[in-house]
Chains A and B, each alone.
Chain A
Amino acid sequence: MVSNVNDMLAVNIAGIKMKTPVMTASGTFGFGLEYSDFVDLNQVGAIVVKGTTLAPKAGNSGRRMAETPAGMLNSIGLENPGVEEFIHTIMPRLAKYDVPVIVNISGNTVEEYGQLAARLDKTGVAGLEVNISCPNVKQGGIAFGTCPDSAAQVVREVKAKTTLPVIAKLSPNVTDIALMAKAVEAAGADAISLINTLLGMAIDIHTWRPVLGNIVGGFSGPAVKPVALRMVWQAANAVKVPVIGMGGIMTAADAVEFMLAGASAVAVGTANFVNPYAAVEVAGGIRDYLTERGLNQVSQLVGKVNCG
């Protein structure tokens, strides 16, 4: 089958149709609008917006960002304007673009995740990414994402309250990622995304104090790529639902690695800060790679790593 060259990058993840397999990772592309001076948002596979909660959230105090070798630590603490502000003022502006918008949701309790899911139904969003993996908030967040039972409970609740596709975003801060992946799949997740940030720390040797106000933070960027790639490979081998891979993707070559490991789509995170055009350039690079190899559909890469 020879597919149209324009379609060679198209993917359908759990019913979310994307022009390219390259999404933007939650918390690293704002609401997309922040980057609209640089990027034609219509060219992005999907925009995953910042972690959204029921009530507005101020996030953590003190220093929130530290650079590390080929990476960074953040302790934003889920600062966001709340779901109502998103629905009333942000989504209408995003709706002008022809790009799927996926909302990353976060709650303090299982019920809150359900309420968020119900509220976002029929608002024009294309899907929900359930954040059970934020390392920067005490309640909720990672607490749900490091225990298979509670992760499954959250996903089940969200599934019960929405008709939208549900993506479960996994934390890398666990010993057995395959176990987590299976748990959320069994609970009904339509797709799985990983990895969220790794728990990290930096210390100022002049003051003997932690660099971040929150003491610990989420580690991301190219330095985490080998860990992310390994986890995506392990998770993809454990489940049948599509896997969205992320963690340190800077270039098309990085994205191809994730797809060979089993990811059906990828997300670009920290790279956006360095290069606002990253998501579009990575997609273009994947197209070039496919063309060079005589392939006509990006799905031909998925899970093709030869470990034999």
Chain B
Amino acid sequence: MAKTCVLAQIIENSVIAGDVFKLIVTAPAIAGIARPGQFVHLRLTDQLDPLLRRPLSIADCHAANGTLTLIYRVVGRGTMLMTKLQPGDTVDCMGPLGNGFTLTGQRPLLVGGGMGLAPLVMLAKAFCSRPATILMGGRNEQELFWPNMYAGVCPNIHITTDDGSIGYRGFTIDVLPGLLEKEKFDVIYACGPHVMLQGVAAIAAKYKIPCQVSLEEYMACGVGACLSCTCAGTSGKRHKVCTDGPVFWAEEVAW
């Protein structure tokens, strides 16, 4: 089995907080093989505008009942169109795309910022027998739905907010060194804004802890054909975020 395009049927599309939605679709061909960190590329209309597909991380996946869960924030026309999807409707879903996280380590630390917390849900579940800890950052208390999502999956949840409305006031990378000093993590997985990932990568290097980051880039094809999404790599070569990534070892990326 490999990448495919399927008409995925909508099962649920509901607001979870503010402008963030949870979309559950049936797509057995994708759900059967998807791994944490992979994404799907959705075609939201048969019309010519908006033209391109939209990449969204797979936040959760049930191979047994063939469903995928996506968590998305409404930011523009495509995600606005997504909010109109009703149970029973279908959406053209291409996936699973990209390489997922490498599930090594016995004491993983997950670090997520904003919508970067979406793919980490599935990752945390994959670790469920091991004590995954998550450090999550958001703008404010309204993003409190994330701890609910991780409850029962991650035994230890640390929170930061930009405004201090809940948890530590500041950024995840302010808290990270302290956490690393207190506990012996053997791998870090991070997803979120570029500056956060850059910070996490630098701290991980300093503490000599292997670190994987999930990058975001503007994408057209999602399958490695157009080269829209490439980023500079340390080897001198450019990486395609859609197929070489979106997950990379931090030292592969030329920050």
A299 at the binding interface (Cβ < 8 Å): no
Q: Which of A33-92 contact B (CB under 8 A)?
A: 34-35, 37-38, 50, 58-59, 61, 63-67, 69-72, 74, 76, 79
1/0 contact string of A98-115 vs chain B (CB within 8 Å):
000000000000000000
A273 at the binding interface (Cβ < 8 Å): yes
B228 at the binding interface (Cβ < 8 Å): yes
A133 at the binding interface (Cβ < 8 Å): no
Cα(A29)–Cα(B226), bound, Å: 7
Residues of chain A contacted by B43 (CB below 8 angstroms): 274-275
A37 contacts B4, C-beta separation under 8 Å: yes
Partner of A79, one of B5, B49, B227: B227
A245 at the binding interface (Cβ < 8 Å): no
Partner of A69, one of B4, B49, B53, B230: B49
The answer to whether residues A74 and B94 also contact, given A38-B3, A38-B5, A67-B51 and a CB cut-off of 8 A, is no
Partner of A273, one of B2, B48, B49, B52: B52
Residues of chain A contacted by B226 (CB below 8 angstroms): 27-28, 30, 65, 74, 76, 273
Partner of A66, one of B218, B222, B224: B218
Cα(A66)–Cα(B76), bound, Å: 13
Residue of A35, A65, A221 ringed by the most chain B CB atoms within 10 A: A65
A274 contacts B223, C-beta separation under 8 Å: no
B155 at the binding interface (Cβ < 8 Å): no
The answer to whether residues A74 and B5 also contact, given A67-B50, A274-B53 and a CB cut-off of 8 A, is no
Q: Which of B196-224 contact A (CB under 8 A)?
A: 218-224
Q: Which of A192-216 contact B (CB under 8 A)?
A: none
A250 at the binding interface (Cβ < 8 Å): yes
Residues of chain A contacted by B2 (CB below 8 angstroms): 37
Residues of chain B contacted by A273 (CB below 8 angstroms): 52-53, 220-222, 225-226
Residues of chain B contacted by A141 (CB below 8 angstroms): none
B220 contacts A65, C-beta separation under 8 Å: yes
A35 contacts B51, C-beta separation under 8 Å: no
Residues of chain B contacted by A20 (CB below 8 angstroms): none
A79 contacts B230, C-beta separation under 8 Å: yes
Q: Which of B48-66 contact A (CB under 8 A)?
A: 48-53
Partner of B228, one of A50, A58, A64, A250: A64
CB distance from B85 to the nearest CB of A (A): 18
Cα(A34)–Cα(B223), bound, Å: 6
A222 at the binding interface (Cβ < 8 Å): yes
Cα(A59)–Cα(B229), bound, Å: 12
B81 at the binding interface (Cβ < 8 Å): no
Cα(A34)–Cα(B221), bound, Å: 10
A35 contacts B225, C-beta separation under 8 Å: yes
CB distance from B225 to the nearest CB of A (A): 3
Residues of chain B contacted by A27 (CB below 8 angstroms): 226-227
Residues of chain B contacted by A38 (CB below 8 angstroms): 3-5, 223
CB distance from A150 to the nearest CB of B (A): 27
Partner of B227, one of A35, A59, A222: A59
The answer to whether residues A222 and B48 also contact, given A79-B238, A273-B53, A276-B94 and a CB cut-off of 8 A, is yes
1/0 contact string of A267-289 vs chain B (CB within 8 Å):
00010111111000000000000
A61 contacts B232, C-beta separation under 8 Å: yes
CB distance from B126 to the nearest CB of A (A): 24
A222 contacts B5, C-beta separation under 8 Å: no
B79 at the binding interface (Cβ < 8 Å): no
Question: Closest residue to B76 on the A side, CB-wise?
Answer: A67
The answer to whether residues A76 and B228 also contact, given A65-B219, A250-B48 and a CB cut-off of 8 A, is yes
**10 intermolecular pairs with C-beta atoms under 8 Å apart:** A27-B226, A65-B228, A65-B229, A67-B52, A74-B220, A222-B51, A272-B225, A273-B222, A273-B226, A276-B94
Other than the given A30-B225, A65-B229, A273-B222, 19 more pairs (CB < 8 A) read A27-B226, A28-B225, A30-B223, A38-B5, A50-B227, A58-B238, A59-B238, A63-B218, A64-B227, A65-B220, A66-B218, A74-B226, A222-B48, A250-B48, A273-B221, A274-B53, A275-B5, A276-B5, A277-B5
Which 9 A-B residue pairs are closest in the complex by CB-CB distance? Answer: A30-B225, A65-B228, A34-B225, A70-B48, A37-B2, A37-B3, A273-B220, A273-B221, A34-B224
A binding-site residues for B, Cβ under 8 Å: 27-30, 34-35, 37-38, 50, 58-59, 61, 63-67, 69-72, 74, 76, 79, 221-223, 250, 270, 272-277
